[in-house]
Amino acid sequence: GRKSGSEFSLHAIPGVDVQHANAARMYDYALNGDHNFKIDREVADQVFAVMPSGPAVARSNRAFLRRAVEFCVDEGIDQFLDLGSGIPTRGNTHEIAQVRNPDARVVYVDNEPVAAAHTRQLLQGNPNAAMVQADVRDPAAVLAAEPTRELLDFSRPVGVLMVAVLHYVSDADGIEDMLAAYRGQCSRGSFLVVSHTTQDHVPDKARALREVLAKSGTEVTHRDHAGVRAVFDGWRLVEPGVVWTPQWRGPQPEPDDPAPEESETWCGVAELI
Ligand code: SAM
């Protein structure tokens, strides 16, 4: 079963909010991590009650992240901006990238204090990776942060990751301007990696899920296939386009595998041309 949290060390992290469930820590719980609190586990269990696929969705998303980063490194990308990077788990972006290119650089961005603290701890002694605690909806702050300026050279291609994070950015938050700001910073040959939770094939569940999450203070925007395609405006999608996570250059499906749409997550990778 899933492990329970290591509450004491977590409480010591400045700025941590233990009164409300938090997306990063609920996702950590779904992935069997131990950087979560009782409130996160309670709300996550309510989410899994309406969405029993939750943990499988998280694993499938994580597997997509791995394949997409490997793809980018194989395309020559040696620097990454990982927006909404989460609490470190198995197979983090710098670990995936640095296996193939030890000089690959990664800047992680998350606004959640537990995610930031654990990422900093993990990166100690790694000069090629750093953490920026910031809101991804504020591209100016992310791009002006010292680790970003020190590690990333936007005059060369960069891999920009927005993996399982854009559902926390609503249209009213100004997602289009945000996307344009990151795109405007990138040079030709850069790649954009996106995955996005959706309820396209289970519309009835969508409302129940949003209600559970709203109670915990987390607003979620589900986008459909066209909405996720629109995230790539100004970029050229690489094959196979916007597909369910297991379908993006994944292994040949086994007969017992769940249907691809059970991933409840659209994804794609695109190049700036
Ligand atoms: N990208 C990782 C992955 O796919 O495995 C983690 C995804 S997790 C579902 C979403 C992460 O986005 C959480 O760690 C959460 O704290 C972060 N997040 C949500 N809204 C954010 C915002 N406005 N600014 C920065 N991070 C945010």
- For residue 13, give both structure tokens: 């992290």
Residue nearest to atom 13 of ligand 1 (CA): 24
pLDDT tens digit sequence for 121-161: 999 999 999 999 999 999 999 999 999 999 999 999 999 99
- For residue 161, give both structure tokens: 């990751």
Check pocket membership of 81 for ligand 1, CB cut-off 6 A.
Answer: no
Phi-psi region of 270 (alpha: psi -120 to 50; beta: other; left: phi over 0): beta
Closest alpha carbon to 220 in 8, 34, 50: 50
pLDDT for the residue 268: 98
pLDDT for the residue 3: 45
Q: Are 72 and 191 in contact (CB under 8 A)?
A: yes
| 243-244 and 105-110 beta bridge pairing | unpaired
CA of 92 to the centre of ligand 1 (A): 13
CA of 165 to the centre of ligand 1 (A): 5
Check pocket membership of 164 for ligand 1, CB cut-off 6 A.
Answer: yes
Closest alpha carbon to 247 in 96, 63, 82: 63
Closest atom of ligand 1 relative to the 62 alpha carbon = 5
Check pocket membership of 196 for ligand 1, CB cut-off 6 A.
Answer: no
pLDDT for the residue 26: 92
Q: Model-level pTM?
A: 0.93
pLDDT for the residue 2: 46
pLDDT tens digit sequence for 191-217: 999 999 998 887 777 777 777 777 777
Mean pLDDT by 10 residues, the chain (273 residues): 52 83 91 92 90 89 98 98 94 96 97 94 95 98 98 98 97 97 98 94 77 78 96 98 97 91 96 97
- Measured CA distances, 231 to 21, 153, 166 (Å): 28, 23, 9
Interacting residues of 177 by C-beta distance below 8 A, sequence separation 6+: none
Which of 89, 165, 170 for a ligand 1 pocket mutation test, highest count of atoms within 8 Å of Cβ?
165
pLDDT for the residue 28: 93
Which of 65, 110, 143 for a ligand 1 pocket mutation test, highest count of atoms within 8 Å of Cβ?
110
Closest atom of ligand 1 relative to the 173 alpha carbon = 23
Query: Could you tell me if the ipTM is greater than 0.95?
Result: yes
Check pocket membership of 269 for ligand 1, CB cut-off 6 A.
Answer: no
CA of 22 to the centre of ligand 1 (A): 10
pLDDT for the residue 200: 85
- Measured CA distances, 62 to 30, 86, 273 (Å): 11, 11, 27
Class of domain 55-203+221-271: alpha beta
The domain ranges of the chain are 55-203+221-271
Task: Please give the full DSSP string across 2-31, using - where no structure is assigned.
Answer: PPPP-HHHHHTSTT---SS--HHHHHHHHT
Check pocket membership of 246 for ligand 1, CB cut-off 6 A.
Answer: no
